[in-house]
């Protein structure tokens, strides 16, 4: 393998000749190899965000006269190519790394520098013409470029997540309409409660998830405040007056996102509060999604000895020993995704708390946790929608039988019979294993017409004019 000799403050290293990354990236590859097994290259949005930040910095530096225009234009051209998908494989550094993200920042600095060198007609590694630190990283520190880039990455990922969440909401809402006329028993504490429609149940799934669209977007907007120009600790050392605002203005244009400069860069540099809030929103979505999957598993349980009110699409044989068994594998995998997301939120919480003085060095694990959560939720919701929700069918007849045989329908008789009489009927029905309907008629408490009117589905699933209580 052909190599080129590069050096840093620790010494010289042979770097693969065709690599766009350099010596510092190579050290990071060795130091953090397979820590998580997930590299920057595995996340194209992250690579794109890194390139956008470097483009914005170069633009600001050229406009202020601190960066040679030819070098600056080459840097911007290299960044544009990376933003369009080029050189994604040149980011082999593990997401979890020591050094507060320095390895990630140097990875993008080296790749951009070497591509810029080619654009200017030079060879990779000829850093006297375009240097990763002196030119690409000009007016920057890892401590402002790194958090700005991952905030932009989170925003891009959130857009995809919200888009898929809306699709899932639509799928549940469609099932709500399809099942609108199907009467079933509602349950509280896993016990028979009062009737409802299967449509109401699925519409409730849609509504509870729909609430998370605005919540996720609200929390993602916190990432629009960035600390570019802070450099090392927020004082802006090694920057020209006006650089910070010029850089943020350029980033706003190149990204299309309404970024704003933080009001206090010393405060903003170590602060991870936005990641805590967004991770919490992901956890909230995961909690709701897991609850829904629990319900789908319960509603489809059986088929003979469970609730069996709905049928989930059969995806695979469910047992190596029990012939014919089919398990709810899609809701099960989504449950497990949600558990991971909840755990990732705890990781973000601990990492955000671990900041010390003017920097939080634990940001890499925050990046890993949030990106992991978003991507798992995105993929999980897609599979839940396509492989499960869209194909759910209802066992309408069975649902109706359960309602008619339920003791819970006695609640609908309370306004006429009173609580005490209704309770007596319920106890007798349970003891004798008979229906509430038959016992009410047997004891002459109501006529058949009166009873049928009270037990009409539309009178049990929504508010309606109450009949007068009978004197019994």
Do 297 and 389 meet the contact criterion of CB atoms below 8 Å apart? no
Do 198 and 309 meet the contact criterion of CB atoms below 8 Å apart? yes
- Phi, psi (rounded to 5 degrees) for 186: -85, 160
Tokens of 332: 């099960």
Cis preceding-peptide flag for 272 (omega within 30 of 0) = no
Q: Annotated catalytic, 319? A: yes
Residue 266 DSSP SS3: helix
Pairing of strands 260-261, 225-226: parallel
Q: Catalytic one among 9, 63, 319, 406?
A: 319
Tell me the C-alpha distance between 20 and 113, whole Å. Answer: 8
Tokens of 9: 């403050």
Tell me the C-alpha distance between 38 and 41, whole Å. Answer: 8
DSSP state letter for 302: -
Residue 4 DSSP SS3: strand
Cα-Cα-Cα-Cα torsion 346, 347, 351, 352, nearest 10 degrees, comes to -40
Q: Which residues are catalytic?
A: 319
């Amino acid at each position: 393998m052909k190599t080129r000799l590069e050096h840093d403050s620790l010494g010289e290293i042979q770097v693969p000749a065709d690599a766009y990354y350099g010596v510092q990236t190579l050290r990071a590859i060795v130091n953090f190899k397979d820590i998580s097994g997930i590299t920057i290259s595995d996340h194209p949005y992250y690579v794109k965000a890194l390139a956008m930040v470097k483009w914005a910095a170069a633009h600001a530096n050229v406009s202020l006269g601190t960066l040679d225009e030819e070098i600056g234009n080459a840097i911007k051209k290299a960044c544009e190519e990376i933003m369009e998908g080029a050189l994604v494989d040149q980011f082999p550094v593990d997401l979890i790394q020591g050094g507060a993200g320095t390895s990630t920042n140097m990875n993008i600095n080296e790749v951009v520098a070497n591509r810029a060198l080619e654009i200017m007609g030079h060879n990779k590694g000829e850093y006297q013409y375009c240097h990763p630190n002196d030119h690409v990283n000009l007016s920057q520190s890892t401590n402002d470029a790194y958090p700005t880039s991952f905030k932009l990455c989170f925003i891009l990922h959130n857009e995809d997540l919200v888009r898929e969440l809306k699709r899932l909401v639509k799928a549940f809402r469609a099932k709500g309409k399809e099942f609108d006329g199907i009467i079933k028993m509602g349950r509280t504490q896993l016990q028979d409660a009062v009737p409802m429609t299967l449509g109401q149940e699925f519409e409730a799934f849609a509504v509870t998830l729909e609430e998370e669209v605005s919540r996720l977007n609200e929390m993602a907007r916190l990432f629009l405040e960035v600390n570019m120009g802070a450099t090392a600790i927020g004082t802006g050392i090694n920057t020209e007056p006006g650089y910070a605002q010029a850089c943020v203005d350029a980033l706003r244009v190149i990204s299309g996102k309404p970024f704003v400069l933080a009001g206090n860069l010393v405060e903003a540099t170590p602060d991870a509060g936005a990641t805590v809030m967004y991770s919490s929103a992901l956890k909230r979505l995961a909690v709701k999604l897991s609850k829904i999957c629990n319900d789908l598993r319960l509603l489809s349980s059986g088929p003979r000895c469970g609730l069996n009110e709905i049928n989930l699409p059969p995806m695979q044989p469910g047992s190596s020993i029990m012939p014919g068994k089919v398990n709810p594998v899609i809701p099960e995998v989504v449950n497990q995704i949600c558990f991971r997301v909840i755990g990732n939120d705890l990781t973000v919480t601990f990492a955000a708390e671990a900041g010390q003085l003017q920097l939080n060095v634990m940001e890499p694990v925050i990046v890993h946790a949030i990106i992991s959560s978003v991507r798992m939720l995105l993929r999980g919701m897609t599979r839940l929608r396509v492989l499960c929700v869209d194909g759910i069918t209802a066992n309408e007849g069975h649902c109706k039988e359960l309602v008619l045989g339920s003791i819970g329908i006695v609640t609908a008789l309370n306004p006429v019979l009173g609580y005490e009489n209704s309770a007596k009927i319920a106890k007798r029905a349970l003891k004798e294993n008979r229906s509430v309907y038959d016992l009410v008629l047997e004891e002459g408490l109501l006529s058949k017409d009166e009873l049928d009117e009270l037990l009409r589905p539309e009178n049990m699933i929504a508010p309606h004019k109450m009949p007068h209580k009978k004197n019994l």
